[in-house]
């Protein structure tokens, strides 16, 4: 049985946070997700707390293997992110983080589209505070753009859900076919949150602007909730294979030339989402398993990477590749954890990425999508290139920047340690993860072919990096701004809008004076009849009232008399 | 213990308050009179709950007074509609009476308080009687009982204007009652019966005769006066504005609703919905309803006395109910019946909150309410939340009834009507917001800085109503299923 909807304990608990202080608060925060995951360990599959409102049958909690897997990893991510944020004294960020995590968990268990929509919007609103908490002009603007896009995605979801309901009579959140307006709107809503190509700009726009700790939260929940939603709603939709393949390939180029290392990680995050989307698109048991497993391990290693970069930012105040280097001398643990995360991201054998990503790549091969398979291989190689080598190399090694920051705070190290440990643990003993996947797995990651192929891929990629660095062909990390698709709506559209706005202003001014005149006229007339001494509000004499009543009667009777 | 009384519930619900009333007169003690009124009202409420349960499970109840068989003796009849109306009248009265003790002490001279409760119980018994009786003339008797006692109640108001307002209501109300009884007399002449069920049986063959149609005209105007149908509402704003606060809350929540109930009975039970095919009466009601919604809302916006503002808003709300009737469909009637109940909760909450405010600031003028949001946070929050319900914000009861009304108009294809209903909601935002803005956004003036929050004995009843506004706005099963089956009964649709 289950006493509370999962995730709710975090949301409700967040509101009690201001009553605790210091270490008690830290322990209290940590207890919430621990209780939450404890509750998940004992539940059985099924739908809980169903009720009906306005004729919609809602099922706020639906538990099955797919939702449970995401439930587990969201809880683990919440625990890690919370430990990482222990040193904060910022109540707003802590509450936002808890509510955000709770809403993402709740969303993963939503059994109907309305509940999903509610949690969908809570994640959007709660998470924007993690961006705004940087308290810079840039973060405010980025947060605003982020909020508009996220809430917009929620609105699309709601619109789609209502249309879907009226067409099918069911509001349940199950597999849908991509036909008709309803499912298409829902699909686009999911696509925005999952950062599909050309819908992805909010991701690279907002995540690097969030606080050191906020980015860790952000990297875990929003996009993965969208992945879950896609896996639940649109498995086997072929279009997703091509969308996913594009997603794996095109952020790479941005990642290679980007100087802000947190932004590099965000591009890499986008690229990893591509793998998961491909897995959903293929839609076989193996590939859905791959998507779920990859989401699981991805959350962990991306957290390690964001945490280590966060620690660097926290200690040095900058995250530009061109200003860093040589930090391994004073931040050895952070360096070590970062390398573990990088190795997992690059899918080194014995690390978590290897055992999850290979499920998807194999699924593509099994289904005969050879072109996609090739793209995935190319993308895998390049992940190693920008996540695996570039991040640790530019931050911790490279030429010595002369910076000698302290090692990261203990709570950060602990959080990174836990996440890094899990990365290795899953990589070494994958069956622990395989056992909780949505479908039963009969897959052996450690075959000679797999390992050798992967190692070849990695070594050639490393070779390319080495060669480019040696020959000086590697694009130097310059302080530059890279134009992405979002230039169109951040610069171009505003310019056009400005011109339009100016012309509207002129028309408006003339219209306004006309309307003012009309309003004044209406108001004068309204108050003449409806005002306090107007005819409609006056208490006329008794005789007058009775006369009126009699005349109403007379009119009625005359009408009735002559009508029949 | 009281099982032997169960078959007599239908009469007891009326008789208990009716007999309690003279007892109040005899004891002549304000506190005991209050207690008697309270107990009587709560017993009636309990019986009403029981009756509705019984009606929904077993079907309509018929009770023969003195065991005289139906067409000759007086019959009391409880079906879903009357049980539903009984329920909220007795409920509102019971909650208002908890509230009344402090408010009445403040507004009425102590040596007259026992008279107040005497009259209150009479009015209450009259309203219940109108609802439960199955006899058209008996209905007139109860109409007069409730009307005469409410004239007295209104005249007890502290301002001198109360007397003229009561006098005006007396004259106009009597004209209305006379019209009703003339109408009933014409029907009696044609059919030889006064029993409502019997009248209904004989109506189809007579419904073309001029006499019957003219009787319908008289009854429509007579009851229209009572329910505050535009333009017959002229007595209402002053009566509400100058009556003691508790009386305003009680009458606004119940008296006009009972009049709407009578209208439904006459139109749909006696004459049958077919009458609307013959006469333009539905178009007339629609036009009057629409004018009421827009025009009275605008008048409300211009008011500075909040009691009058809410009174005009009530006339506008009656407009919504009349529009529901004019649709002559199950959905339309459902919306009307729902709005009877919902508007009772809304206006009950608003007028009680206003009564608590009057207790503290001794005024209901909008300018004196500056800064009340800080001084009386719980009372103002209740006012705000009931106001949201009046506007019809989702999750409130106001939303539910407007939703059904719009469904009903769209079913008929009346797009413009739906739009006007929505405009009416927008206007209600304006007049509710007017109060909120002054109370929350004006600084506290120095002279009122000592004002305290209302006492708990007032806050509890207010918040019971506010909670009901939201509870029934979310858990809609109970009210909607009752209203729907009542509407189906009226339209003669199989349940």
Whether the predicted pLDDT of B383 surpasses 60 = yes
B214 interface with A at CB cutoff 8 Å: yes
Whether the predicted pLDDT of A162 surpasses 70 = yes
A536 interface with B at CB cutoff 8 Å: yes
Average pLDDT over residues A258-283: 87
Average pLDDT over residues B110-124: 91
- Are the beta carbons of A545 and B213 separated by less than 8 Å? no
Determine the Cα–Cα distance for residues B402 and A392; give it in Å rounded to an integer.
Answer: 62
B301 interface with A at CB cutoff 8 Å: yes
Average pLDDT over residues B181-207: 88
Average pLDDT over residues A384-396: 78
Helix, strand, or coil (residue B28)? coil
A540 interface with B at CB cutoff 8 Å: yes
> Residue B76 carries which DSSP code?
E
Angle at A398 between CA A397 and CA A400, to 5 degrees: 85
Radius of gyration of chain A (CA): 29
B218 interface with A at CB cutoff 8 Å: yes
Residue of B nearest to A536 (CA): B299
Lowest mean pLDDT: which of A200-209, A536-545, B438-447? A536-545
Whether the predicted pLDDT of B180 surpasses 90 = yes
Helix, strand, or coil (residue A552)? helix
Determine the Cα–Cα distance for residues B135 and B123; give it in Å rounded to an integer.
Answer: 19
pLDDT of residue A482: 57
Alpha-carbon distance values, A405 to A70, A309, A460, B492 (Å): 37, 13, 34, 85
| Mutate: best of B291, B299, B310, partner A, most A CBs <10 A | B299
pLDDT of residue B344: 92
Q: How far is A185 from chain B (nearest CA, A)?
A: 24
- Are the beta carbons of B304 and A563 separated by less than 8 Å? no
**Who among A534, A536, A557 is closest to B214 (CB)?**
A557
Please list every residue in chain B whose beta carbon sits closer than 8 Å to the beta carbon of residue A549.
172, 175-176, 221, 225, 232
The residue assigned the tokens 């032997």 is B4
pLDDT of residue A60: 83
**Who among B217, B232, B304 is closest to A549 (CB)?**
B232
Residue B239 buriedness (CB in 10 A; 0-12 / 13-18 / 19+): buried
- A232-236, B125-129, B428-432: which is most confident: B125-129
A474: left (phi over 0), alpha (psi -120 to 50) or beta: beta
Please list every residue in chain B whose beta carbon sits closer than 8 Å to the beta carbon of residue A547.
none
Average pLDDT over residues B273-283: 82
Whether the predicted pLDDT of A8 surpasses 70 = yes
Whether the predicted pLDDT of A52 surpasses 80 = no
**B292 vs A197 pLDDT, higher one:** B292
pLDDT of residue A486: 59
| Mutate: best of B169, B178, B183, B298, partner A, most A CBs <10 A | B298
* Residue among A544, A528, A530 nearest B232 (CA): A544
Residues A367 and A282: beta-carbon distance below 8 Å: yes
Which residues have C-beta within 8 Å of that of residue A143, sequence separation ≥ 6? A128, A131, A132, A206, A209
| Mutate: best of A542, A548, A554, partner B, most B CBs <10 A | A542
Average pLDDT over residues A197-216: 83
Name the pTM for this structure.
0.60
Please list every residue in chain B whose beta carbon sits closer than 8 Å to the beta carbon of residue A561.
210, 213-214
**A18 vs B122 pLDDT, higher one:** B122
| Mutate: best of A549, A558, A561, A562, partner B, most B CBs <10 A | A549
B146 interface with A at CB cutoff 8 Å: no
Please list every residue in chain B whose beta carbon sits closer than 8 Å to the beta carbon of residue A564.
208, 210, 213, 278-279
Read off the pLDDT band of A350 (50, 70, 90): confident
Please report the number of interchain residue pairs, chain A to chain B, with beta-carbon separation below 8 angstroms. Answer: 83
Whether the predicted pLDDT of A410 surpasses 90 = no
Cα dihedral A173, A177, A182, A184 sign: positive
Cβ-based neighbour number of residue A544 at 10 Å: 12
Please list every residue in chain B whose beta carbon sits closer than 8 Å to the beta carbon of residue A542.
168, 171-172
pLDDT of residue B393: 84
Torsion angle in degrees (nearest 10) through CA of A168, A173, A176, A178: 90
Please list every residue in chain B whose beta carbon sits closer than 8 Å to the beta carbon of residue A552.
221, 224, 231-232
What six digits make up the tokens of A417? 């340690």
Helix extents (H) in A234-260: 238-257
Burial A499-518 (b: 16+ CB within 10 A, else e): eeeeeeeeeeeeeeeeeeee
Please list every residue in chain A whose beta carbon sits closer than 8 Å to the beta carbon of residue B278.
563-564
- Are the beta carbons of A553 and B231 separated by less than 8 Å? no
B295 interface with A at CB cutoff 8 Å: yes
- Are the beta carbons of A537 and B175 separated by less than 8 Å? no
Helix, strand, or coil (residue A1)? coil
Q: How many residues in chain B?
A: 495
Which residues have C-beta within 8 Å of that of residue B377, sequence separation ≥ 6? B453
Whether the predicted pLDDT of A474 surpasses 70 = no
Determine the Cα–Cα distance for residues B252 and B150; give it in Å rounded to an integer.
Answer: 11
What six digits make up the tokens of B159? 């301002």
pLDDT of residue A493: 67
Q: How far is A52 from chain B (nearest CA, A)?
A: 9
What are A438-449's pLDDT values in tens digits? 888 777 777 877
Please list every residue in chain A whose beta carbon sits closer than 8 Å to the beta carbon of residue B224.
552
What are B52-82's pLDDT values in tens digits? 888 888 888 888 887 888 777 888 888 889 9
What is the share, in percent, of chain A residues with pLDDT greater than 90? 7
Average pLDDT over residues B20-37: 90
Lowest mean pLDDT: which of A481-485, B253-257, B361-365? A481-485
- Are the beta carbons of B279 and A54 separated by less than 8 Å? no
Please list every residue in chain B whose beta carbon sits closer than 8 Å to the beta carbon of residue A540.
234
A549 interface with B at CB cutoff 8 Å: yes
* Residue among A229, A223, A213 nearest A314 (CA): A213
Read off the pLDDT band of B316 (50, 70, 90): very high
Please list every residue in chain A whose beta carbon sits closer than 8 Å to the beta carbon of residue B220.
556
pLDDT of residue B259: 93
**A495 vs B382 pLDDT, higher one:** B382
Helix, strand, or coil (residue A112)? strand
Residues A212 and A146: beta-carbon distance below 8 Å: no
Whether the predicted pLDDT of B458 surpasses 80 = yes
Lowest mean pLDDT: which of A41-50, A526-535, B34-43, B444-453? A526-535
B238 interface with A at CB cutoff 8 Å: yes
A535 interface with B at CB cutoff 8 Å: no
pLDDT of residue B439: 87
Read off the pLDDT band of B257 (50, 70, 90): very high
Domain ranges across chain B = 1-271, 280-495
Q: How far is B9 from chain A (nearest CA, A)?
A: 34
Helix, strand, or coil (residue B77)? strand
Cβ-based neighbour number of residue A435 at 10 Å: 9
**Who among A54, A545, A553 is closest to B217 (CB)?**
A553
pLDDT of residue A1: 47
Cβ-based neighbour number of residue A557 at 10 Å: 19
**Who among A532, A556, A560 is closest to B303 (CB)?**
A532
Burial B309-329 (b: 16+ CB within 10 A, else e): bbbbbbbbbbbbbbbbbbbbb
A530 interface with B at CB cutoff 8 Å: yes
Whether the predicted pLDDT of B256 surpasses 80 = yes
What are B326-357's pLDDT values in tens digits? 988 899 999 999 999 999 999 999 999 999 99
B208 interface with A at CB cutoff 8 Å: yes
Please list every residue in chain A whose beta carbon sits closer than 8 Å to the beta carbon of residue B208.
564
- Are the beta carbons of A561 and B279 separated by less than 8 Å? no
Average pLDDT over residues A182-211: 86
Whether the predicted pLDDT of B494 surpasses 70 = no
B474 interface with A at CB cutoff 8 Å: yes
Read off the pLDDT band of A28 (50, 70, 90): confident
| Mutate: best of A58, A543, A552, partner B, most B CBs <10 A | A552
Q: How far is B236 from chain A (nearest CA, A)?
A: 10
């Amino acid at each position: 049985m289950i006493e509370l909807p999962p995730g709710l304990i975090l949301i409700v608990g967040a509101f009690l946070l201001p009553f605790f202080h210091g270490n008690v608060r830290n322990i209290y925060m940590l207890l919430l997700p621990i209780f939450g995951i404890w509750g998940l360990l004992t539940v059985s599959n099924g739908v809980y707390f169903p009720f009906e409102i306005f004729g919609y049958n809602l099922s706020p909690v639906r538990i099955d293997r797919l939702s449970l897997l995401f439930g587990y990893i969201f809880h683990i991510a919440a625990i890690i992110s919370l430990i990482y944020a222990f040193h904060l004294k910022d109540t707003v960020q802590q509450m936002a983080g808890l509510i955000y995590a709770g809403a993402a968990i709740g969303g993963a268990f939503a059994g109907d589209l309305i509940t999903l929509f509610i949690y969908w919007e809570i994640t959007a609103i709660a998470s924007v505070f993690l961006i705004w908490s940087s308290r810079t002009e840039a973060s405010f603007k980025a947060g605003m753009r982020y909020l508009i896009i996220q809430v917009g995605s929620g609105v699309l979801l709601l619109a789609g859900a209502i249309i879907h309901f009226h067409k099918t009579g069911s509001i349940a959140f199950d597999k849908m076919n991509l036909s008709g307006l309803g499912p298409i709107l829902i699909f686009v809503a999911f696509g925005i949150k999952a950062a599909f190509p050309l819908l992805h700009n909010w991701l690279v726009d907002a995540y690097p602007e969030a606080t050191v700790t906020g980015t860790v939260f952000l990297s875990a929940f929003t996009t993965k909730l969208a992945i879950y939603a896609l896996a639940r709603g649109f498995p086997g939709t072929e279009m997703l294979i091509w969308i996913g393949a594009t997603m794996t390939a095109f952020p790479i180029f941005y990642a290679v030339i980007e100087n802000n290392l947190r932004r590099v990680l965000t591009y890499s995050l986008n690229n990893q989402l591509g793998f998961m989307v491909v897995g959903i698109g293929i839609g076989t048991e193996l590939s859905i398993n791959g998507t779920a497993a990859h989401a699981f391990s991805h959350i962990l290693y991306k957290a390690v990477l964001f945490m280590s970069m966060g620690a660097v930012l926290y200690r040095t105040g900058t995250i530009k590749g061109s200003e860093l280097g040589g930090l391994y001398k004073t931040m050895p643990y952070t360096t070590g954890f970062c390398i573990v995360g990088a190795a997992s991201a690059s899918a080194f054998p014995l690390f978590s990425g290897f055992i999850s990503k290979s499920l998807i790549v194999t699924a593509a091969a099994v289904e005969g999508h050879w072109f996609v398979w090739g793209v995935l291989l190319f993308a895998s190689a390049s992940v190693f290139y920008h996540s695996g080598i570039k991040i640790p190399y530019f931050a911790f090694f490279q030429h010595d920047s002369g910076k000698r920051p302290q090692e990261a705070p203990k709570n950060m190290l602990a959080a990174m340690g836990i996440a890094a440990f899990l990365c290795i643990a899953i990589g070494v003993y994958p069956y622990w993860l395989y056992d909780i996947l949505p479908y039963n797995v009969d897959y052996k990651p450690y075959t000679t072919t797999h390992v050798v192929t992967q190692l070849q891929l990695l070594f050639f990629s490393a070779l390319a990096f080495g060669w480019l660095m040696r020959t000086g062909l590697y694009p130097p990390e310059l302080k530059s701004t890279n134009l992405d698709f979002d230039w169109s709506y951040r610069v171009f559209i505003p310019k056009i809008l400005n011109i339009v706005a100016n012309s509207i202003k002129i028309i408006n001014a003339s219209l306004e004076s006309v309307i003012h005149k009309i309003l004044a006229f209406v108001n004068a007339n309204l108050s003449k009849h409806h005002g306090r001494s107007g005819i409609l509000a006056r208490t006329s004499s008794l005789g007058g009232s009775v006369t009126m009543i009699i005349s109403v009667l007379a009119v009625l009777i005359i009408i009735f008399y002559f009508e029949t | 213990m009281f099982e032997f009384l169960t078959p007599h519930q239908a009469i007891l619900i009326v008789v208990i308050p009716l007999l309690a009333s003279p007892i109040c007169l005899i004891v002549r003690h304000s506190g005991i009179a209050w207690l008697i009124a309270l107990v009587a009202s709560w017993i009636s409420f309990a019986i009403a709950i029981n009756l509705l349960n019984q009606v929904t499970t077993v079907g309509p109840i018929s009770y023969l007074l003195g065991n005289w068989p139906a067409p000759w003796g007086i019959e009391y009849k409880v079906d879903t509609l009357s049980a539903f109306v009984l329920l909220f009248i007795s409920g509102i009265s019971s909650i208002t009476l908890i509230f009344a003790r402090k408010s009445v002490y403040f507004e009425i001279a102590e040596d007259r308080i026992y008279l107040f409760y005497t009259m209150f119980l009479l009015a209450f018994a009259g309203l219940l009687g109108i609802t439960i009786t199955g006899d058209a003339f008996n209905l007139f008797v109860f109409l007069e009982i409730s009307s005469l006692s409410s004239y007295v109640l209104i005249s007890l108001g502290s301002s001198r204007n109360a007397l003229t307002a009561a006098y005006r209501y007396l004259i106009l109300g009597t004209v209305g009652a006379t019209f009703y009884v003339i109408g009933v007399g014409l029907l009696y002449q044609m059919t030889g019966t006064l029993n409502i069920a019997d009248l209904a049986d004989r109506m189809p063959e007579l419904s073309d005769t001029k006499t019957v149609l003219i009787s319908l005209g008289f009854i429509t105007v007579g009851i229209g006066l009572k329910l505050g149908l535009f333009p017959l509402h002229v007595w209402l704003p002053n009566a509400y504005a100058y009556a003691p606060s508790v009386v305003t809350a009680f009458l606004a929540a119940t008296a006009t609703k009972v009049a709407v109930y009578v209208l439904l009975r006459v139109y749909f039970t006696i004459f049958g919905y077919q009458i609307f095919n013959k006469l333009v009466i539905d178009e007339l009601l629609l036009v009057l309803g629409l004018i009421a919604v827009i025009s009275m809302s605008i008048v409300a916006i211009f008011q500075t006395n909040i009691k009058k503002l809410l009174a005009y808003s009530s006339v506008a709300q009656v407009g919504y109910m009349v529009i529901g009737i004019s649709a002559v469909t199950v959905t339309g009637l459902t919306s009307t019946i729902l709005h009877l109940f919902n508007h009772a909760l809304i206006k009950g909450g608003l007028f009680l909150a206003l009564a608590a405010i009057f207790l503290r600031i001794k005024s209901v003028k909008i300018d004196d309410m500056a800064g009340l949001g800080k001084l009386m946070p719980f009372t103002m929050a209740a006012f705000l939340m009931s106001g949201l319900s009046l506007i019809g914000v989702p999750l409130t009861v106001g939303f539910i009834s407007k939703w059904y009304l719009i469904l009903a108009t769209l079913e008929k294809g009346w797009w413009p009507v739906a739009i006007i209903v929505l405009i009416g909601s927008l206007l209600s935002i304006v007049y509710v917001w007017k109060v909120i803005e002054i109370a929350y956004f004006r600084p506290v003036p120095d002279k009122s800085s000592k004002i305290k929050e209302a006492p708990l004995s007032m806050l509890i009843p207010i918040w019971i109503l506010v909670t009901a506004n939201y509870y029934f706005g979310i858990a809609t099963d109970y009210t909607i299923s009752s209203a729907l089956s009542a509407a189906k009964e009226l339209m003669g649709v199989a349940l």
